[in-house]
Every structure is written in structure tokens, then in C-alpha cells.
Amino acid sequence: MVRRRVLVDARYATAAPTSSHARYIRELARCWAEDPGSLELLLLATRPPGPDVARGPTVRWLAPPRPLDVIGRRAEGGRAWLNSVFTAASLRIQPDAMFFPYPFLPRVLVAPSVATVHDVCFISRPLDFGGGHSLNARVGDAAQRAAYLIAPSAASRDGVAAAFGADPSHISVVHHAMGASFTVAPSADDGAIRRQHGLAAPYFLCVITFEPRKNLVTLARAYVDLVRMLEATPDGRPVPDLVLVGHRSDYSEEVDRVLEQVPTAASRTLRRSNLSDQELAALYRGALATAVPSICEGFGFPLVEALACGCPVLVADQPVFRELVGSAATYLSPRDVESWTTAMLAEHKNNQASRDVASAASLTIRNRFQWRSAARATLAVLENAAR
């Protein structure tokens, strides 16, 4: 059988394995190596990937020749990569279709193309993206020139269609997924992992990137109020910690200023980053609840990962989150600090009922958000483009 060839922009595959960019393309590649459908997939990365990436007869990794590899490494994620390195490869290979896992296309398209638009938060939250003008133009270009688009949720699909006039019938909803570690069944290493990260007391967990749209200031204010309340009227239980998982940024200083209003809140806030799936799953399983205060998302990895681990979730009331998990989460007004404090206090006092709800939803969540399903659905879009 002669397989149609798809050239994939895999520039982020060699980033830190814990980054969402790297995880997206590496997980798709892993599943494609097991089930490639009718296609041969050529993944062009900025440098030769390590031995841990998936390979197979129909899944091959390519790296640009010198001196183009220098351009690729210096311009990773930028226009120079697309318009020089990737374009040169596409002209040489002449693929039947091209896949861009992010909504950025080169000026020259040698084949029908598919692009993934993860969200349109740069439209509703432009200041979070340096004004958002560049993203607006580049995503708008992809929406008009790509043969097909992929969105990780119906909310993202509808946002793309409304913002750029894209044909909704050419936008496929393909949910993201989670790794095998995220399960309600505890691992024998869970206790050791939590001790390693200094988690002895009960704690609330928040897995987040430090950006204004993630609304972490609201959570910090709610936590400060919770600590004040528990210190004023002790109930015999230890004051819970707040564990923030993510890389610090300029926005972190604003969050710090809120927490420092109460010394106990500042001292009981633990910061972690670069956690493996195994570590993160152990933290989910041990938390009183996971907080997802974000006011704009295209998906919600912490939301589905926490529920898959049987961890209760306190989440900002957004259509995308209701689309993903329905009634399995506790929904709160995004900016209402008092409601977040009240919800955290309820979990602190007794969270068995919400834990039962999360545990009951775990299997459904795991079955719904599998990388194998995402890979197959993505292949179906690529096959349409290649034909």
C-alpha cells in the first residue's frame, strides 16, 4: 500500500517533556506509532529527538540539515522556522498534507494543511498576550488558509468560528487527553512523593501557569481569608497548605503580595515546578481539592487530571469546563473571593461527599480523554486533508 505522507511541524517536541507543547505532539506521535492509519507521518523537529520518542515504520523524525538547524534552534516557535526551515523541508519532501499543532502557518503552503487552535484567549484577554495583535493576525491567517482546523473543545471551535469567520464544518473538536498515571488507584510511591515535596499537612492544589488570565490572585485572596478565618476560630484541624505548581513569572509577584498580607498564608504556600506525571498524580490524589480559577481556557488539563485521580475540583464557572466534566466539579463565580473561601472552608471541614463525586466520575473522565482517541481523531482530519 502506498501511504500518503504528512509533514508535521514538531518543533516543540524537544522542549521539556512536562511542557504542554511537547506533551501534545509527543503523545500524538506515540499513538501514531502504534496505529498510523493510512498515513506516513514525518515529524520535523529543531534537533534530533532523544531515544524516548515514539518511532515506527510509518512515524519518522526528521531534523534539519546544517546550517538550517541553527536557524531552527534560534527561532524555535518563530516565523523564521516556518518560512525557512519548514518551508525548505516541505518543498523537498512534497507531502500530501501538512500538520501544524499550533495555529501558525508559513507563507508558502505546498499541500493542504491542518492547524490546531488551542484557544482564542488572546482575543478576550489581549493584554495577557502583549496586546494580542500578532496572535490575532497569525491565527486569523491560519483560520483562512488551512484546509481544516482542530480545536480541543466546542467552546474553542465556536470562538474560532465567531472571531475569524471560519466554517464550523471545517473545525473538528478533538479533546486533549491525559497520561496513564492519572488514575484514582493510588501508587505505592504516593506517600514518598508527597513527603519529598514537604506535604505533611492537608493542602489545596493549583496547577497553573502564572498568567493574569489564570486568575490566581482571586484564589490567593480566598486562601488568605481562609487562613484568617481558621486562625481567628481554630477548629482543631491544621491550617491547610496551598500548593502552587508552575513556573514563576512577573505575575507571581502580584500573587505574592496578596499572600504576604497574612504571614501564615505566605509561609504555608508551597511552590513546585517541573513535576512528572507520576509526581503530579500523587499530589492530586492527596489534595483536599484542586482549584482551577482560570477565566479563559481552550481546555483544562488540571481539571480532567484531578478528577481522573478522584480529587475534588473547585473551578471557575466557564462553558468550556462544564462541557468537559459536567456536574463532576464545583463551579464558582470566577472573581467572587467569598465564594471561593466558602468552598475551600467546606472542603477543609469535610470533603468526603465531593471526593465521592470525583471518584465516581474518574472512570468516565479517563475513558473520555485518552490520547489514543485524540490521535485517531487527528489522523482522520489529516487523512481528509491528504486526500
**DSSP state for residue 130 in the 8-state scheme:** T
- Assign residue 144 a region: left if phi > 0, alpha if psi is -120 to 50, beta otherwise? alpha
Amino acid identity, position 372: R
55-62 long-range Cβ contacts below 8 angstroms, 24+ apart: 56/32, 58/3, 58/32, 58/33, 59/29, 59/32, 59/33, 61/10, 61/13, 62/89
Average pLDDT per 10 consecutive residues for the chain, totaling 387 residues: 90 73 89 92 86 85 70 59 91 97 94 95 73 79 95 95 92 95 95 94 92 93 97 91 90 92 96 93 98 94 97 97 97 97 97 95 96 97 96
Identify whether residues 37 and 71 lie together within a single domain.
yes
How far apart, in Å, do the first and last CA atoms of the chain sit?
A: 15
Here the cell at position 267 is 509561609
Identify whether residues 154 and 194 lie together within a single domain.
no
Identify whether residues 103 and 222 lie together within a single domain.
no
Identify whether residues 53 and 83 lie together within a single domain.
yes
Residue 22's pLDDT is: 81
184 occurs within a structural domain: no
Identify whether residues 376 and 363 lie together within a single domain.
no
Identify whether residues 363 and 374 lie together within a single domain.
no
Distance CA 73, CA 102 (A): 18
39 occurs within a structural domain: yes
Residue 335's pLDDT is: 96
182 occurs within a structural domain: no
Question: Which residue's C-alpha cell is 498515571?
Answer: 181
Specify the CATH number for the domain of residue 314.
3.40.50.2000
Identify whether residues 327 and 256 lie together within a single domain.
yes
Identify whether residues 232 and 283 lie together within a single domain.
yes
Residue 147's pLDDT is: 96
Distance CA 372, CA 320 (A): 22
φ, ψ at 358 (rounded to 5°) = -65, -40
185 occurs within a structural domain: no
Structural domain range at position 196: 190-368
What's the structural domain count of the chain? 2
Identify whether residues 145 and 204 lie together within a single domain.
no
200 occurs within a structural domain: yes
Closest CA to 53 of 86, 20, 83, 14: 14
